[in-house]
């Protein structure tokens, strides 16, 4: 259902992840100007992605599906500033080291998230950092791209 959303629409949608908000709360949280937020909210309501009730906006959880996460990864990857993309043959030993390092980074990121859950700090959605990492065989990526068509 979220396929094809603009990054700014996802920002507004993510702003509603913690709780329902009025338009001014969303403006403050996203860092976008009022007229942009108003337009984005109208579009998201028309697409039935969010709902407006009693002066507040909230996510329409009945429209979410597992494909949405994959679509978001693709859209975020296309918008990233600092992306490192390497295509190479990796020895079995180096692959184990790489997987270990990625697991370590993932654990570090999970610890940060858990710390924030146990001791919430006030932050705006627009201040979040986006981290994207992964590893795959070229053939798996090619097969997945063919299935998408």
**Structural domain includes residue 137:** yes
Per the CB < 8 A criterion, the answer to whether 108 and 131 are in contact is no
Q: What is the pLDDT of residue 1?
A: 55
Domain extent, residue 130, equals 7-148
Give exposure, 80-101, as e/b (b: 16+ Cβ within 10 Å).
eeeeeeeeeeeeeeeeeeeeee
**Structural domain includes residue 142:** yes
CATH code of 32's domain? 1.10.10.10
Total domains in the chain come to 1
pLDDT above 70: residue 65: no
0.75 exceeded by pTM: no
**In this structure, what DSSP letter does residue 21 have?**
B
pLDDT above 70: residue 149: no
**Structural domain includes residue 1:** no
**Structural domain includes residue 68:** yes
pLDDT (average), residues 17-24: 92
pLDDT > 70: percent of the chain = 87
């Amino acid at each position: 259902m979220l396929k094809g959303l603009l990054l700014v629409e996802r920002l507004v949608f993510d702003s509603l992840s913690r709780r329902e908000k009025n338009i001014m709360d969303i403006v403050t949280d996203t860092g976008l100007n009022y007229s942009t937020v108003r337009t984005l909210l109208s579009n998201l309501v028309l697409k039935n992605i969010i709902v407006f009730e009693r002066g507040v906006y909230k996510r329409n959880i009945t429209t979410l599906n597992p494909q949405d996460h994959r679509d978001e990864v693709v859209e975020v990857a296309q918008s990233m500033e600092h992306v490192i993309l390497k295509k190479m043959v990796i020895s079995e030993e180096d692959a184990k080291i790489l997987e270990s390092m990625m697991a370590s980074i993932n654990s570090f990121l999970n610890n940060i998230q858990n710390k924030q859950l146990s001791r919430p700090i006030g932050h705006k959605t627009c201040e979040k950092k986006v981290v994207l990492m992964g590893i795959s065989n070229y053939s798996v990526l090619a097969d997945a791209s063919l299935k998408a068509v």
